[in-house]
């Protein structure tokens, strides 16, 4: 699984999706087993950008039903931070 490989190679991992989504929960479990700094968020508002400010590399993945605009918003803001 690609998310597992990404999580194993980054300092922090962000998983985006609904809290009740079983798909997203499974992604979070997989990623957190590879990267201890894994964050499960629904929107950018749920992410404390200060918590990832000390890391060099961040991976981002999302559940299948996560709207593209939310993924793009998180991606853009994380990129700006680094």
Q: Tell me the C-alpha distance between 69 and 13, whole Å.
A: 19
pLDDT recorded at residue 69: 96
C-beta of residue 62 within 8 angstroms of C-beta of residue 17: yes
Cβ atoms of residues 27 and 38 within 8 Å: no
| CATH at 42 | 3.40.1010.20
For residue 56, give its domain range.
Answer: 2-81
Give the pLDDT of the chain (82 residues) as one tens digit per residue. Answer: 799 999 999 999 999 999 999 999 999 999 999 999 999 999 999 998 777 777 889 999 999 999 999 999 999 988 877 6
What local confidence, expressed as pLDDT, does residue 54 receive?
78
* Number of structural domains found in the chain: 1
């Amino acid at each position: 699984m690609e998310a597992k490989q990404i999580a194993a190679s980054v300092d922090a991992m962000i998983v985006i999706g609904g809290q009740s989504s079983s798909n997203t929960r499974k992604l979070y479990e997989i990623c957190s087993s590879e990267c201890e700094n894994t964050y499960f968020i629904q929107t950018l508002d749920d992410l404390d950008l200060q918590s990832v400010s000390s890391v060099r590399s961040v991976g981002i993945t999302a559940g299948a039903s996560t709207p593209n605009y939310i993924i793009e918003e998180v991606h853009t803001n994380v990129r700006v931070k680094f």
